[in-house]
Structure 1
Amino acid sequence: MGIMSIQSIQGASAPLRPRRFAPKTGGDSKFRPEIQALRALAVTAVLLYHLWPKTFSGGYIGVDVFLVISGYLISAHIQREIQSTGTFRFRRFYMRRVRRLLPAALLVLAVVAVVTILLIPMTYWKDWLGQVVSSLFYVENWYLALSSTDYLAASANASPVQHFWSLSLEEQFYLLWPIWLVFGLWALSKTGLSRRNQPIWTIGIALIASLGYSIWFTNVSAAEAYFVTPTRIWEFAAGGIAAAIGLRIRNRFVAGLASWCGLAVIAACVITLSGATPFPGWIALIPVASTLLVIAAGVPAQWWSTQWLIRFRITQWLGAISYSLYLWHWPLIVIIPVIAGSPLTGPQRLGLIALSAAAGWASKRYVEDRFRQTPNFAAGAKPVRRALVGLRVALIGSIAVAAVALPGLAATTQRSSEAEIALADAQASDFLCLGWNAAQPGCAPAANTSSVIPDPIIAQRDVATVDCAQRGARTKLLTCEFGSKGDNAVSVVLAGDSHAGQWLPALENIALARNWKITTLLKTGCRLTQAPAGTLAVDANCALWNQSAQDWIMSHTPDLVFVSGRSSSADGIPTAEVDLRAQANGIANAWRSVTANGSSLIALAETPQPVVGGLTDPGACVLAHDQSQCTFREGLETSDPQPLAAEMVPGVSLIDLSDEFCIDGYCPAVVGSILVYADNNHTTASFMQTLTVPLGRALTDF
């Protein structure tokens, strides 16, 4: 597909006449300082969000700003070429995208792959290298959507190339958008629609269809909707519509106000939106419309306008390096703490900003510019030569990345298969003389070897209730049933967050022995509480889910309710005493409602967390060191609000099995050849299953 003649598509009866798609003033072919400033704002928002997700909780909207800019510039470019030549050269368009974007992206992927193999524990390889490969083919957004990743949950397990989801989205847009525009114009030319309105209708159809789907799917599944292409096309199309109608504010005073308003609203979104906001959906209209306001305003000339901010040298410099800065900042944020074995401190985060900017500048100067300006790529070079060189660069770079990533993936896949077999064998033997059972009479002491179950490289898959816990911004109540199926079974509920759900393997064994039917009411990051939304760890979605969960308990009146919840923040910082008491009050209020309704309630005290004790990656530690080095000091006594809540609600029982995890305050990562922790705060289902006996003893009276 080389040169496509619009005149030939439309037929001889409809000769092509030049028409204006872009605004007269400024011209989209000229440098646009306001667009460069928007790029600077967008990349800054994303960088701040990734470094301080709680403070700049809505910084992810920087991506939406980028999407609108891309839609505006690419649509204007396509329309301008059709206007001036009557043709569109697909091959030239795609080769320009290759030389503009691919070299720097391939370099980042290659560096991440090499660093992963050389410096990163094998526990990370499968996910990281798998995402390197998906990013190589620009399908990372679909990889994350299909693997149910929740980007806005700020997961500690994110890969260093997870940010390629937006680049994948853009590449898919670059591939499909020219085809849609060219053939859309051809199709509409047959309808008698005026040529001025043909591009508007072509883009508008895509915008309306995508926006409608985005609103619907965000309500259905926000985590997946965040990544998939159909929910995002409308943001590109919004920029395309602006280019098609020549969006421009002519009144200087209005333009000055509009520019300030647009920038201010974008900045406000960075502060006010959060991971609890259903996104993209209709809410994304706010940053999208604000971006269009800034574009339409241009560079206002008044002394009080935004022109000084837009033309500020640092602003323009950040805009110029924004692509490379975006590429490099996230791998640095993810990889450095893994290599160091500790979270980033405040000063380190500031230093990482400088390091990211330096890497972005170097990449822009020595990679981006080099490939754009090399004679083989320059505009004067022969098209065929440019195409061949571009394809050669893409092919060699892709092969180099694949040559590093694929063998690593193969090695970890083989080891994972062997680990799954070993885990299945241990499960078949009911973990005889393994884990907690290893200390029982008749069991020989386990040798301190590097062989543990589950193997650390599959430990994160050895968790309970993955498919039964609601996630992210969803509020719909999910219920799953375990244990006895008999009609006369004792009705039992397990309610809370993932730290409540991790008790299920032991509880299910007890349920089968005692004729219990367990129903799970679980949501990631959301314990059972009546604390109002917006306080502590309770966002609006958690509050809505809590209402549904407590309504279910009230209407079903189970015989017994188990509750638990995480007692520290994601970075392992224990809860402050004043917040601890506030949390306990909200929890106690929920418990009172349950007990007043006739159900017995048992709180399961929080399990010791490695991240609180300074062990950031138990699995990686076990792989790299002797097991004896992989211990941490227990530090949860002042972090769990449940003991305080239990004192407030008569009749509530509190079960604390911390002594089964720790000896004299020190907690090992491996007990009886069983890996205790799936990550830095959750237990493995395998170890929890070996706690069936001690938990059963604690439940003797129930």
Structure 2
Amino acid sequence: MSDGHTPAGADSAGYRGDIQGLRAVAVMLVLGFHAGVPFLTGGFVGVDVFFVISGFLITGLIDREIGRTGRLSLSRFWARRARRLLPATAVVLGSVGAVTIIVLPVTRWSSAAWDIGTSALYVVNWRLAEQSVNYLAANDAPSVVQHFWSLAVEEQFYVVWPVLILLVLWVQRRYRLPLTKVLLAGIAAIGVPSLLWSIYLSEVNAGRAYFVSTTRLWELAIGAALAIVAHRLIRIPAVTARVLGVLGLAAIGYAAVSFDSGTTFPGAAALVPTLGAAAVLAAGTAGHRTPAGALLDTGAMRDIGTLSYSLYLWHWPLLVGAAVLWGGDDGTLPVAIGVVVVGFSAVPAWLTYRLVEAPIHHAPAFARFPWRAGVLGVACTAVGVAAAVTVSTAIPKTPEVDGREAAGAAVLSDDPAEYEPPDSVDAMVPAVLDAPDDVADLDGETCISTIVGTDLESCTYGPRDAETTVAVAGDSKMHQWLPALERIADERGWRLVTYLKSACPLVGVDVEYEDAANHWCADYNDRRFDALTEDDTIDYVLTSQVASSAYGVDGDATEAMVDGLVESWEGLEDAGTEVVVMVDNPNPLLDVMECVATHEDDLGACGFSRARAETVGGARAQLPALEQAEGIDAVDVRDYICPGDTCPPVIGNTLVYRQGSHLTGTYVESLTPRVDAALTDVLRD
């Protein structure tokens, strides 16, 4: 607030051409980054620029209303936000629902329905935050409305911010304190803890930190604080304003070209683009003619800025759809096509702005009667929810198939290379829509710790007085073998003890998670190794993994993993526990479920090269480690997962793979005789 002053550099409506130009910069950075433009590795900072602009403009609007009327009408404020933002959102979400059904593979429909629904309610950022620490979801294709996370953060800010300002105003009037100082203190009370939390969480849980609102409030608070002191910025000398504008744009540009996926973000790094944006806004607010203002306040930049909201809404769903139609096996869209797609997004963006966004935003009927805007907001939200429901109800029902009809690996002979996979099957088990839920368990329990946390969770199965106890330890690639191991334990009277954690192999070296060392895994492994070596009832440790390289080492990362495995295995052996390695299965370089869903009558199109599949995955480190380690045995049933040079997606009417490189629980169960035979040979030796 400005103690009754109108912010300098703004007219009565708060319009500034340089701000429209800064919006253009922000949206072009985001679009370029999403299109894969090579030099815009940090183009995601455009979102942070938007946050600062939003905090500045929204707080400026509130300031002017209070300065003009002496009060703030929450109903009018929220009505303005509803008619400004929700109609275009409704159009896009409705269209996304249709595109989902027409273009996307059916395997994505359920997730898309949830994403569309939570986007309509502006809470999708919290859903994405939860998925970011879900190891299985990490292999999923990106959400068709993933970009709505930032809109959700802003909408949550718009709900909470005016209420907080009213609370601060009440305190100021009750105790007759200086308004500007009280407001700045209130912003600091919110922004400083948010920044500190952002720095901390970005270090320990970068995926969650990126999406949640609590790590982003400080960015909006920077803009809000700038709006409150806007009346003082007219004192900035012209030279200072010119320098501020140039340095601000330079900071944004530096972040856009030097940041990348390895940058710990948002955290302290986000100070670069946000303070840069604040500097540009401050320079323009001072009212002087500056080089930055001249660059931003041009016709082309203002036009792009005017369309920035609609451009942001449309470009990402179009990119996701294009990746399905023209992307490679890994879903990556060539840069040239990506640039064309984001360029084309200007067409629906312009139509949405001219036919929906601008007319409704400026309609006098909504300005005079806020309740009408409220009704409009509810209707627009209902459109998004209806789109989500439509997608959900369109998901085909999978036929009930008796699990005994799943032959799986039983159709393979002792010479599996002789197997000739069919081009189609009448009843696949599991059906592709059921495959994500066909996850291994032990006696109905999941028995694997999530990525986050270090608690040593364990499941025990089988008789306490069993003559043989097998510890099952590793990451999700060891976890996938539980269906076979449970049956073997039943037949042989074994006791199973699990020490499993997603994204955490049993090895004494750092591994990567989200471009950083997985500190949760390191701490967990300290406890896991202690448990395995101190429990004298454990006879064997059965282990596997998907990771093939260590993190943060000088030299060859794969070699470092090999050395780490040898040391870890031999350490367990020296402690009196025999180690048996389950060699990791071939890792397909395509989404098998999606491919099968779109090629049900041509399953051969979903086969993949075994040679290429074994250039990634745990076997790449396990096999050389087995050659170097002394006395370590292995169970290798890869020939019964990938018979021949080409790996079929379906064997014995059983879908082999679910998310990423994980095997379906049904197929693992069909491998029980092969795993049992291999284990028997190892344990007999």
TM interval, shorter chain, is 0.7 to 0.9
The corresponding residue for 2:335 is: 349
Which residue, 346, 349, 352 being the options, matches 1:367? 352
Which residue, 410, 430, 447 being the options, matches 2:393? 410
Q: Are residues 34 and 603 of structure 1, via their aligned partners in 2, closer, same or farther at CA, if it must alter by over 3 Å?
A: farther
CA distance in 1, matches of 2:306, 2:632: 61
Q: After the TM superposition, which residues 10-21 of structure 1 pair with which residues of structure 2 at under 5 Å, given as runs? A: 19-20=3-4
TM-score (norm 1): 0.79
Q: Does 1:542 align with 2:518?
A: yes
Which residue, 151, 154, 179 being the options, matches 1:170? 154
- Maintained 8 Å contact 2:8/2:287: no
The corresponding residue for 2:676 is: 696
CA distance in 2, matches of 1:211, 1:520: 36
Q: After the TM superposition, which residues 460-471 of structure 1 pair with which residues of structure 2 at under 5 Å, given as runs? A: 460-464=436-440, 468-471=448-451
Q: Are residues 222 and 188 of structure 1, via their aligned partners in 2, closer, same or farther at CA, if it must alter by over 3 Å?
A: farther
Q: After the TM superposition, which residues 342-491 of structure 1 pair with which residues of structure 2 at under 5 Å, given as runs? A: 342-343=328-329, 348-359=334-345, 361-371=346-356, 373-374=358-359, 378=362, 383-384=367-368, 388=372, 390=373, 394=377, 397-412=380-395, 415=397, 426=403, 431=404, 434-437=407-410, 449-464=425-440, 468-471=448-451, 474=452, 476=454, 479-484=457-462, 486=464, 490=469
Secondary structure of the equivalent of 1:457? coil
Q: Deviations over 1:181-211 (max 9, x none)?
A: 2343123311221233333234333334544
**Alpha-carbon distance, 1:74 to partner:** 0.1
Aligned letter for 1:591? Answer: V
Q: Deviations over 1:542-562 (max 9, x none)?
A: 367346525642664275444
The corresponding residue for 2:601 is: 625
- Maintained 8 Å contact 2:548/2:621: no
Q: Alignment RMSD, CA only?
A: 4.3
The corresponding residue for 1:608 is: 586
Q: Are residues 31 and 280 of structure 1, via their aligned partners in 2, closer, same or farther at CA, if it must alter by over 3 Å?
A: same
Aligned letter for 2:497? Answer: I
- Maintained 8 Å contact 2:33/2:40: yes
Secondary structure of the equivalent of 1:455? coil
Q: Are residues 152 and 190 of structure 1, via their aligned partners in 2, closer, same or farther at CA, if it must alter by over 3 Å?
A: farther
CA distance in 2, matches of 1:626, 1:666: 15
CA distance in 1, matches of 2:592, 2:523: 36
The corresponding residue for 1:250 is: 236
CA distance in 2, matches of 1:314, 1:565: 53
- Maintained 8 Å contact 2:2/2:63: no
CA distance in 2, matches of 1:500, 1:53: 38
CA distance in 2, matches of 1:203, 1:151: 36
**Alpha-carbon distance, 1:261 to partner:** 4.2
**Alpha-carbon distance, 1:262 to partner:** 3.8
The corresponding residue for 1:7 is: none
Q: Are residues 383 and 341 of structure 1, via their aligned partners in 2, closer, same or farther at CA, if it must alter by over 3 Å?
A: closer
The corresponding residue for 2:71 is: 87
The corresponding residue for 2:665 is: 685
The corresponding residue for 1:495 is: 474
**Alpha-carbon distance, 1:113 to partner:** 0.7
- Maintained 8 Å contact 2:484/2:668: yes
Between 197-206 and 398-407, the greater mean CA deviation after superposition: 398-407
CA distance in 2, matches of 1:298, 1:529: 55
CA distance in 2, matches of 1:148, 1:18: 41
CA distance in 1, matches of 2:170, 2:571: 69
The corresponding residue for 1:338 is: 324
Which residue, 561, 586, 593 being the options, matches 1:586? 561
Percent of aligned pairs with the same amino acid: 30
- Maintained 8 Å contact 1:492/1:519: yes
Aligned letter for 1:662? Answer: C
The corresponding residue for 1:114 is: 98
CA distance in 1, matches of 2:508, 2:602: 45
Q: Does 1:666 align with 2:646?
A: yes
- Maintained 8 Å contact 1:262/1:291: yes
- Maintained 8 Å contact 2:49/2:273: yes
Q: Does 1:553 align with 2:536?
A: no
Structure 2: gaps spanning 5 or more residues: 415-419
CA distance in 2, matches of 1:345, 1:224: 24
Secondary structure of the equivalent of 1:517? strand
Which residue, 72, 97, 103 being the options, matches 2:56? 72
**Alpha-carbon distance, 1:212 to partner:** 5.6
Q: Does 1:298 align with 2:278?
A: no
- Maintained 8 Å contact 2:116/2:388: yes
Q: Are residues 680 and 371 of structure 1, via their aligned partners in 2, closer, same or farther at CA, if it must alter by over 3 Å?
A: same
Task: Report the number of matched residues.
Answer: 654
Aligned letter for 2:102? Answer: L
- Maintained 8 Å contact 1:486/1:515: no
Aligned letter for 2:408? Answer: G
Which residue, 177, 180, 183 being the options, matches 1:193? 177
Q: Are residues 261 and 683 of structure 1, via their aligned partners in 2, closer, same or farther at CA, if it must alter by over 3 Å?
A: farther
CA distance in 2, matches of 1:213, 1:543: 18
Q: Does 1:161 align with 2:145?
A: yes
**Alpha-carbon distance, 1:77 to partner:** 0.8
Q: Are residues 530 and 348 of structure 1, via their aligned partners in 2, closer, same or farther at CA, if it must alter by over 3 Å?
A: same
Q: Are residues 383 and 587 of structure 1, via their aligned partners in 2, closer, same or farther at CA, if it must alter by over 3 Å?
A: same
Secondary structure of the equivalent of 2:663? coil
Q: Does 1:643 align with 2:599?
A: no
CA distance in 1, matches of 2:495, 2:561: 28
Between 76-85 and 476-485, the greater mean CA deviation after superposition: 476-485
- Maintained 8 Å contact 1:337/1:344: no
Q: After the TM superposition, which residues 310-325 of structure 1 pair with which residues of structure 2 at under 5 Å, given as runs? A: 310-311=296-297, 315-325=301-311
Aligned letter for 1:494? Answer: A
Q: Deviations over 1:99-139 (max 9, x none)?
A: 32223222211111112223333222111122212222222
The corresponding residue for 2:417 is: none
- Maintained 8 Å contact 1:200/1:241: yes
TM-score (norm 2): 0.81
Secondary structure of the equivalent of 1:451? coil
Q: Are residues 30 and 681 of structure 1, via their aligned partners in 2, closer, same or farther at CA, if it must alter by over 3 Å?
A: same
Secondary structure of the equivalent of 1:456? coil
The corresponding residue for 1:182 is: 166
CA distance in 2, matches of 1:277, 1:464: 35
Between 644-653 and 479-488, the greater mean CA deviation after superposition: 479-488
Task: Point out which structure has higher relative CO (alpha carbons under 8 A, 6+ apart).
Answer: 2
The corresponding residue for 1:127 is: 111
- Maintained 8 Å contact 1:619/1:677: no
Q: Are residues 54 and 151 of structure 1, via their aligned partners in 2, closer, same or farther at CA, if it must alter by over 3 Å?
A: farther
Secondary structure of the equivalent of 1:88? coil
Q: Deviations over 1:302-350 (max 9, x none)?
A: 9996456545766555433322222122212222222457458888332
- Maintained 8 Å contact 1:459/1:678: yes
Which residue, 570, 584, 604 being the options, matches 1:595? 570
